A and B are shown apart, each in its own frame.
Chain A
Amino acid sequence: MATKPKIAFFDFTSCEGCQLTVIDLLQTHLGLLDLVEIVQFREAMSERGEDYQIAFIEGSCTRKSDEARLRRIREQAAVVVALGACAHLGGVNALKNYWPIENVQTYVYGKNGKDAYESYPARPISAVIKVDAVIPGCPIDRYEFLRIVQLLLQGRRLRLPDYPLCVECKLKENACLNTLGKPCLGPITRAGCDAICPTYGDGCEGCRGWAPEANFAYMREILRGHGLSDADIDARFTMFNHFQFQHMGEPAPVTTSLGPDKTAPLPTSAFAAPKED
């Protein structure tokens, strides 16, 4: 029998929910462990091996020291897979990019915060290293993870759905939320999650990134039809995709800024920051 491929999991800035989703997958697919050898998975095991071929990386790059660690993983792994929205898109981590980093540090940690913690604007890992495959979503869909691992093990080409979420939602025979007056980003979001949020009555929030040739202008018209302001619409567009809009070039489909401008002064509020003696 051929040696099993060695795989490893790594986490950067994230909630580790995608790795938990992998652990949850093992509840029903324990046989996965017969096909691969997991050599590193800090959240679940103490053993630690450095001779992996496939690296799954969860989380965004949010500080200088993350870059060297990402490069080391890239040098070792034949295949690097971005696991989930934080690694793939920057995800919710990029919401802090609305503000100057000093403003964010001071708000949470007080005026000594800037020195206490290293941080810079959040980026997807593809901004630092070459990424061979992406498993989108916040969190990932466990069955899509399984499909992609199967394809990787067979050496086959990976393809994500190139159509919007609405296709899956229709196949599930869900009533369209946008026609029921509930805002949903399904028309512009890449499919692959089996339309889980609309299925549970909540509009899609775009965590899988945009479908090819997404029509933002028409999506905005639909959302305005729900009586939403442009600020509300921008808040929906940017929840997981702020980094994408930041780097999309002009004219970006996000029209207004939620936060103050980049020269916002340091906050003086002590709402979140600790008291200082």
Chain B
Amino acid sequence: MTENIKVNVHHVTRVEGHGNIVVDVRAGTIEKCELQIVETPRFFEAMLRGRPYYQASHITSRICGICACGHATASLRATERALQVKLSEQTVRLRKLAFHGELLDSHILHGYMLIAPDFLGVGSVIPLAASHPEVVKRALRMKQFAGDLCAAFAGRHTHPIAMTVGGFTQFPALSKVEGLRERAEALLADVDATVELFGTLPWPSFERETEYVALVHPDYYGFIDGEIGSTDGYTLPIDQYRAVTNERLAPHSTAKHTAFNRDSYMVGALARYNLKHKHLHPRAKAAAEHLGLSAPCYNPFLNSAAQVVEIVHCMDDVILLLDEVLKRGLAWEKPAPVTLAPGARGVGACDVPRGILFHEYQIGENGLIEEANCIIPTGQNLGNIDRDMRALVPTLLTEPEDSIRLKMEMLVRAYDPCISCSTHFLNVEFVGK
């Protein structure tokens, strides 16, 4: 039994943004166990004040290069709900396609380039390209499709161009949509191979029951709008998100926590899987079984497996949506009109790759933003990561320090944290006693 352990990972790699892991165990007791967030603050909410409403989605997509479409979508929904904009069915469909493109891109990047290297014993995707070229080529092929899907409808994945308040500024030629449809069909073999690969990875066995929170829809596995659902049995309208996130400065501490019904909750692919697995497409359900997932799953390492399940689900969804576009054609619709009124408020919610994301704006009659609030998924997961780390460390004390360090990094990476989205972080100091 190791009595004294010091693990210090400065700037955890293969995550978005800057975070440090510090573990200090003395005489078998955890003195310190924390994920420090050392990213520079961005202050997006403050800078939105005084800007015209039509700039908000283009400014806030710059919160995150990976979730640019997600931030743009949440931002547009907040603005549209504030300004009483009614979206056409076509706009809703095309937004979903761009959103799925981003989710696929992010999950493929995370699974193949950030997670797989840990299991295949290499430091990164670059030596992986030498040792497992077919794996990397497959990942790049799938990622390219995902990016092209975003680009077809939004102009670009980072940062979307054609998504605007009330609709789109441009539409692709149907021949381009047909091309994407053919490529999607051809990629299904790569999707199967992805499930096979991740089915062979030895996920660390670790469980800690917690609350899972995600957007829920009555009859489908959705990512945009809907209601806020919790595995503790609550459902709330998205306008009441503050009752869920409960952002607080704890007394005598600079740590900001979110908590709903327990000390902390988890958002992201595993939370979505736990809440709405019954709405997955059949092929995704089979993939979940193959990957050893069954709801409720309390192993945070399997968040990466749930992401693979979502890759399968979203590819099937993309094919259905593209078929719908091809069947109905694309109308060159003008963006739906806005109605300005004094102090108009709106909340937008999306379940982006890393979990539930909220934007809320108050917009004046002059069209200028008066107040803004953004609550990002990683901020909501921090409290839960902390509690997982504290539960995991005691099970690792007999292992060499290198192995402890790797497991801790793997745990943090499993959450797919996006630390550069720190529009809304405080220094997180978790001191275990």
Task: Say yes or no for B5: interface residue by CB 8 A criterion.
Answer: no
**Number of B residues whose C-beta is below 8 Å from A?**
76
What residues of A have a CB within 8 angstroms of the CB of B251 in the complex?
277
Binds A, one of B84-92, B140-148, B320-328, B394-402: B140-148
Say whether, besides A16-B65, A17-B159, A42-B11, A271 and B362 are in contact (CB < 8 Å): yes
Residues B249 and A139 in contact, CB atoms below 8 Å apart: no
Evaluate contact between B65 and A42: CB separation under 8 angstroms: no
Query: Which residue on chain B has the smallest CB distance to residue A235?
Result: B52
| In contact, B46 and A17 (Cβ under 8 angstroms) | no
Residue of A with least CB distance to B362: A271
Residue of B at shortest CB range from A276? B249
Closest residue of B by beta carbon distance from A28: B144
**Which one, B218-226, B306-314, B419-427, is touching chain A?**
B419-427
Question: Quick one: which of A20, A41, A271, A275 contacts B66, CB cutoff 8 A?
Answer: A20
Is A66 an interface residue, CB under 8 A from the partner? yes
Q: CA separation between A63 and B18, bound complex, in Å?
A: 15
Residues of A within 8 A of B155 (CB): 196-197, 199-200, 202
B299 sits at the interface (CB 8 A):
no
Q: How far is the CA of A97 from the CA of B126 in the complex (A)?
A: 39
**Beta-carbon contact of B247 and A27 below 8 Å:** no
A30-B140, A92-B59, A202-B162 known; A104+B46 contact, CB < 8 A: yes
Instruction: Decide if A99 is an interface residue (CB 8 Å cutoff).
Output: yes
User: How many residue pairs between the two chains, A and B, have CB atoms under 8 Å in the bound complex?
Assistant: 212
Q: Is B119 located at the chain interface by the 8 A CB criterion?
A: no
Q: How far is the CA of A13 from the CA of B45 in the complex (A)?
A: 15
- B68–A15 contact, CB under 8 A? yes
Q: B161 contacts which chain A residues (CB < 8 A)?
A: 196-197, 200-202
Chain A proximity of B66: nearest CB distance (Å): 6
Minimal Cβ-Cβ distance residue in B for A15: B65
Task: Say yes or no: is B124 at the interface (Cβ < 8 Å to chain A).
Answer: yes
B168 surroundings in chain A (CB, below 8 A): 201
B17 contacts the other chain (CB 8 A): yes
Q: Are B14 and A13 in contact (CB under 8 A)?
A: no
Name the one of B109, B162, B420 contacting A200, with C-beta atoms under 8 angstroms: B162
CB-contacts of A191-207 with B (<8 A): 196-197, 199-202, 205
One of B24-32, B35-43, B284-292 at the interface: B35-43
Set of chain B residues within 8 Å of A269, measured between Cβ atoms: 371
Give residues 118-140 of B contacting A (CB, 8 Å). 123-126, 129, 136-137, 140
For the complex, give the distance between the alpha carbons of A76 and B25 in Å: 37
B248 at interface by CB-CB < 8 Å: yes
Question: In the complex, how many angstroms separate the beta carbon of B50 from the nearest chain A beta carbon?
Answer: 4
Asked if residues A117 and B17 are in contact (CB atoms below 8 Å), the reply is no
B131 to chain A, nearest CB (A): 14
Is residue B231 contacting chain A, with contact meaning CB distance below 8 A? no
The answer, among A23, A109, A239, for a CB contact under 8 Å with B59, is A239
With A and B bound together, what is the CA distance between A70 and B156 in angstroms? 30
Residue A189 interfacial (CB < 8 Å): no
Q: How far is the CA of A42 from the CA of B114 in the complex (A)?
A: 11
CB of A119 within 8 A of chain B? Answer: yes
User: In the complex, which of the residues B164, B362, B426 has the most CB atoms of chain A within 10 Å of its own CB atom?
Assistant: B426
B143 pairs with A27, CB closer than 8 A: yes
**Are A117 and B59 closer than 8 Å at their CB atoms?**
no
Could you say which interface size class chain A belongs to? 35 or more
> What distance in Å separates the Cβ of B388 from its nearest Cβ neighbour in chain A?
21
Q: Which of A44-52, A146-154, A155-163, A208-216 contacts B (4 or more CB under 8 A)?
A: A44-52
Partner of A46, one of B47, B123, B249, B256: B123
Q: Does B64 contact A (CB under 8 A)?
A: yes
Interface residues in A6-28 (C-beta closer than 8 Å to B): 11-21, 23-24, 26-28
Among the interface residues B55, B65, B114, B136, which one has the most CB atoms of the partner chain A within 10 A? B65
CA distance A269 to B343 in the complex (A): 14
A96 engages B46 (CB within 8 Å): yes
In the complex, per-residue mask of B50-85: 1 if CB is within 8 Å of any chain A CB, else 0: 111001001100111110100000000000000000
Query: Chain B residue with minimal CB distance to A232?
Result: B52
In the assembled complex, the CB of B63 is this many whole angstroms from the nearest CB of chain A, namely 6
The reply to whether the CB of A112 lies closer than 8 angstroms to some CB of chain B is yes
Asked whether any CB of chain A lies closer than 8 Å to the CB of B254, the reply is: yes
Are B250 and A98 in contact, with the CB atoms below 8 A?
no
State whether A201 touches B16 (Cβ < 8 A): no
Distance A51 CA – B387 CA, assembled complex (angstroms): 38
Interface hits, A232-268 → B, CB 8 Å? 232, 235, 239, 258-259
The CA-CA distance from A163 to B252 in the complex, in Å, is 56
- Where the two chains meet, the residues of B that have a C-beta atom closer than 8 Å to any C-beta of A are 11, 13-18, 40-43, 45-47, 49-52, 55, 58-59, 62-66, 68, 109, 113-114, 117, 123-126, 129, 136-137, 140-141, 143-144, 147, 154-159, 161-162, 164, 168-170, 246-251, 254, 256, 360, 362, 368, 371-374, 420-421, 423-424, 426-427
- Identify 13 residue pairs between A and B in the complex whose beta-carbon atoms are under 8 Å apart, listed by A's number: A14-B65, A19-B65, A46-B124, A95-B59, A104-B47, A108-B424, A112-B249, A113-B426, A119-B43, A199-B155, A201-B161, A274-B426, A277-B251
Q: Which 3 A-B residue pairings sit nearest by Cβ, starting from the closest?
A: A17-B65, A45-B124, A201-B169
Interface residues of A, Cβ cutoff 8 Å to B: 11-21, 23-24, 26-28, 30, 33, 38, 41-48, 62-63, 66, 91-93, 95-96, 98-99, 103-105, 107-110, 112-113, 115-117, 119, 138-139, 196-197, 199-202, 205, 231-232, 235, 239, 258-259, 269, 271-272, 274-277
Can you add 17 more A-B contacts, CB < 8 Å, to A16-B16, A92-B62? A15-B64, A15-B421, A16-B64, A20-B65, A27-B141, A27-B147, A92-B47, A103-B46, A108-B423, A109-B426, A117-B426, A200-B162, A202-B169, A271-B360, A271-B372, A272-B45, A274-B426
